Amino acid sequence: MIGLVDRVRRRVRLLGGLVALTGAIAVTSGLLARRAQEDASRRARDATAARALGALGRAQYIDELHRARGLAERHPPAEPWTARIERAAARLSPALDVAERARLARVEQRSRALSIVLAPREGGEPSPDDEHAAQAIVDALVDDADRIADRLERRAEDAEASALGASRLAVVLGGAFSALGVLFAWVIGRRLVAEVTAPVSRLRAVTERVREGERSARVGPLETAELHEVGAGLDAMLDALDEADERVRAAEALAVLGRVAATVAHEMNNPLAVLRGTVAALSEGAPEGLARELAIVDDEARACQRIVDDLRVASHAPLLRLGPVDPSALAAEVAARRAMGARLSLDVAPDHLLADEVRLRQVLDNLLDNAEHATGGGGSVIITGRRTGDRYELSVDDDGPGVSDADAARVFEPFVSGREGGSGLGLAVCKAIADAHGGALSLGRSDAGGARFVLTLPASASQA
């Protein structure tokens, strides 16, 4: 289960990565667009320089022609025209390909040829043939320079188009990734809100239901780890409140039962003792038939006394007379006295217990009564006993129909009986005896399909 904070961190990191990627793409696209623009500007400058090279060649032609005709001073200029054209060509050369550099070399050659044809002569002006040749040379020089300029201008236009395309791409990519970032942030926000509001709504709904009296309402598992802990705490609190209510109700029932038991014991013990004393006196020397009837009366009076005693035990912790008890020997003795024959089998390991043997015999007798009733007197019952750590578990299993879930929840409550004619105190008494020993009595389902009652008692440190 992933916590809300972890989800937020992961999604914020993802959103931050998307924003960083958007920025990187925008910066890269911008740099590419700027580089393309700079390339276009450089190529435009190179084209202008190529045009200027042709103009420089024509200026050379005019100046040297005037000098040759004597229309200007004959001494050479401070920097020869050929040197000026070579210097301009050297600056232009890195921007040209192989074919353009060959054409540039021809421009330089024609500049030198022009200087030779129009060189000043002693005793006369250049002939018409020389001037015609010079005109052809300068026309070829300008043509070569213009061709170079044309190609550079086309490249500049292509570079300009590339720069414009790169700028558009940068805008499109930046907008697209920005929109994607906004959409992603919106989706993340909605999901985070849903992950918080849904569990919070469940928590609020449960608290409302509990406030209205529905104590069985529970939150259950929540996907968000932090809120799951809150929901689990609320469920645990409600479970604890239910358990506390059950304990309060049980305590109130036991208090009422205690008062009833005290009253019944006080009101019934003396009359029952008198009745049994009278029956004993009448039985002495009585005819056989009367003696049998009096014995029945005595048994019933003794049963009433036992019910009164069970009431006392179920409502108060019984007083124990602790001593060494071997559960194996105790189970064998109880089994032999009940004479259930082959229907009852024992698998009880010997051990040392510090317990009240009379009370434990009472528990075993009661559990075997229930098992015999559940099997209808014809099923099989098994008593098993084993040490588990510092506890000893003594269980009674039968192959009867078992106990329903509805009855299992209340089977150890006083006056709850699963059979007709029962007082409903037997299992309550057994549980009270187990609790008094610091143990427990529980109900489960046996491997044979019937009921399994497990008596758990503290075991002594030394094992037999």
Q: What percent of the chain has pLDDT over 70?
A: 78
| Residues 451-463, mean pLDDT to the nearest whole number | 81
Question: Which pLDDT value is given to residue 139?
Answer: 93
pLDDT band at 464 (very low <50, low <70, confident <90, very high): very low
Q: Which of 143, 172, 190 is the last residue before a domain boundary?
A: 190
Shared domain check, 379 and 399: yes
Q: Any idea which of 226-230, 277-281, 426-430 has the lowest mean pLDDT?
A: 226-230
| Residues 28-45, mean pLDDT to the nearest whole number | 79
Tally of CB atoms within 10 A around 60: 24
In the chain, the number of structural domains is 3
Q: State pLDDT tens for residues 352-392.
A: 999 999 889 989 988 988 888 888 767 889 999 999 989 99
SS (H, E, C) 225-263: HHHHHHHHHHHHHHHHHHHHHHHHHHHHHHHHHHHHHHH
Question: Which pLDDT value is given to residue 170?
Answer: 73
- Residue 434, burial from CB neighbour count under 10 angstroms (0-12, 13-18, 19+): buried
- By C-alpha distance, which of 428, 422, 410 is closest to 257? 428
Q: Is the pLDDT of residue 1 over 50?
A: no
Question: Which pLDDT value is given to residue 311?
Answer: 62
Shared domain check, 310 and 345: no
Q: Is the pLDDT of residue 336 over 70?
A: yes
Q: State pLDDT tens for residues 78-103.
A: 788 899 999 999 999 998 899 989 99
For residues 264 and 45, the model is more confident at 45
Tell whether 215 is covered by a domain.
Answer: no
Question: Which pLDDT value is given to residue 421?
Answer: 47
Q: What percent of the chain has pLDDT over 90?
A: 17
Euclidean distance between CA atoms 457 and 229, whole angstroms = 36
3-state secondary structure of 440: strand
Tell me which amino acid residue 162 is. Answer: S
For residues 22 and 133, the model is more confident at 133
Structural domain range at position 78: 4-190
Question: Which pLDDT value is given to residue 218?
Answer: 85
For residues 72 and 40, the model is more confident at 40
Shared domain check, 297 and 424: no
Shared domain check, 366 and 256: no
Question: Which pLDDT value is given to residue 73?
Answer: 60
Shared domain check, 170 and 28: yes
Q: Which of 315, 336, 354 is the last residue before a domain boundary?
A: 315
- By C-alpha distance, which of 431, 430, 435, 432 is closest to 458? 435
Shared domain check, 450 and 333: yes
Angle at 100 between CA 96 and CA 103, to 5 degrees: 140
Shared domain check, 138 and 12: yes
Residue 327 belongs to domain with CATH number: 3.30.565.10
Tell me which amino acid residue 99 is. Answer: A
CA distances from 387 to 110, 328, 335, 393 (A): 119, 12, 20, 6
The structure tokens listed for 416 are 């709850």
Secondary-structure breakdown of the chain: helix, strand, coil percentages, each rounded to the nearest 5: 70, 10, 20
Tell whether 393 is covered by a domain.
Answer: yes
Shared domain check, 122 and 80: yes
Tell whether 152 is covered by a domain.
Answer: yes
Contacts of 80 (CB under 8 A, 6+ apart): 115
Shared domain check, 383 and 311: no
Question: Which pLDDT value is given to residue 454?
Answer: 94
Question: Which pLDDT value is given to residue 212?
Answer: 83
Question: Which pLDDT value is given to residue 252?
Answer: 62
Shared domain check, 65 and 31: yes
Tell whether 296 is covered by a domain.
Answer: yes
Q: State pLDDT tens for residues 152-186.
A: 888 888 888 887 887 787 778 777 877 877 787 77
Shared domain check, 370 and 258: no
Shared domain check, 157 and 87: yes
Q: Any idea which of 143-152, 299-308, 449-458 has the lowest mean pLDDT?
A: 299-308
Tell whether 126 is covered by a domain.
Answer: yes
Q: Is the pLDDT of residue 44 over 50?
A: yes
The distance in angstroms from the start CA to the end CA of the chain is 49
Q: Is the pLDDT of residue 276 over 60?
A: yes
Q: Is the pLDDT of residue 254 over 60?
A: no
Euclidean distance between CA atoms 369 and 299, whole angstroms = 18
- For the chain, what is the mean pLDDT? 79
Tell whether 29 is covered by a domain.
Answer: yes
Q: Which of 281, 315, 349 is the last residue before a domain boundary?
A: 315
Tell whether 203 is covered by a domain.
Answer: no
Tell whether 361 is covered by a domain.
Answer: yes
| Highest mean pLDDT pick, 39-53, 138-152, 316-330 | 138-152
